[in-house]
A and B are shown apart, each in its own frame.
Chain A
Amino acid sequence: MLDCRQASQLISKSLDRRLSWRERLEIRFHLFICKYCKRFSQQLTTMCTAINRMSQSIEHNQDIQLPSETKNRIANAIESTVD
């Protein structure tokens, strides 16, 4: 029987690798009886989804631009590389 510490560790591991069938069974059973770990598991999924959405919204936000000082710095660096 897993306790909540062990369950939370396995849930985190499940984001990184495929669990063994035994581990999956243990987790499924634990989540069936423990609403707190079930919440925990959903929260980790929410965090992952949110982090991905954030990346996408940064990537598509036309208001975010390369600062003009940096643009000038890069332009100068290009010049001096060519010379």
Chain B
Amino acid sequence: MSNNMHDWLNQHGDFLYRFALARLRDPHLAEDVVQETFLAAIKSPSFSGDSAPRTWLTGILKHKIIDMMRKNVREIAASDLMSEQDANMDEFFDDAGRWIEKPMDWDMPENALEQKQFLGVLQNCMDKLPAKLSALFMMRDVHETDNEEICKELNITKTNAWVMLYRARMGIRKCLEINWLGA
């Protein structure tokens, strides 16, 4: 088994690492889940040889990634959760509910989404989110976890979740306008 596992590490390690990095966006966390995956694999009697090793390992990895995200979001202290009121207390709208700074025309060129510059700024903006917002945002918008499931898993209310996602998206959008369009 150990020899097998070393071969698999060489053959599939990079693939698994990229898979994890695409979802966690943090090299250290991605390395950790890959390690946990191999250690879980070696202890698991369930590999029957019916499926390809890569498919089997990826299945384990997916669970490890979700566990990692859960752990990150659980670390949100209860006091950091947001209520309906927090959605309305913001720097984006005036008392009458009008935009203070009106969203600009982004005028996206056709290939903007492939542009390294745009993607680089977007990543920086995501990195700048406060940890509590970031964990939830990664789980929802990057990993596309179902909302109901997030609330159930994390024991937060739907109100907490939508307000936090709203604030995360507002923050990233504003950050993009400032740093990408140079507003």
Contacts and interface: CB of A to CB of B under 8 A. Distances in A.
A81 B43 contact: yes
Interface residues of A, number: 48
- Chain A residues touching B, majority SS: helix
B74 interface: no
A58 B22 contact: yes
Interface-centre pick from A6, A12, A36, A64 (highest chain B CB count, 10 A): A12
Interface in A8-48: 8-9, 12-13, 15-17, 36-37, 39-40, 42-44, 46-48
A78 B105 contact: no
Nearest to B35: A74
B87 A47 contact: no
Interface of B: 1-2, 5-6, 9-10, 13-14, 16-19, 21-23, 25, 27, 31, 34-35, 38-39, 42-43, 87-88, 90, 92-93, 96-99, 102-106, 108, 113-114, 118-119, 122-123, 126, 140-142, 147, 161-162, 165-166, 169-170, 172-173, 176
Given A50-B122, A53-B113, A64-B18, 7 more contacts: A3-B96, A4-B93, A5-B97, A40-B103, A48-B141, A66-B16, A82-B2
The 4 closest A-B pairs by CB, nearest first: A3-B97, A66-B17, A5-B97, A58-B22
Interface of A: 3-6, 8-9, 12-13, 15-17, 36-37, 39-40, 42-44, 46-51, 53-62, 64-67, 70-71, 73-75, 77-79, 81-82
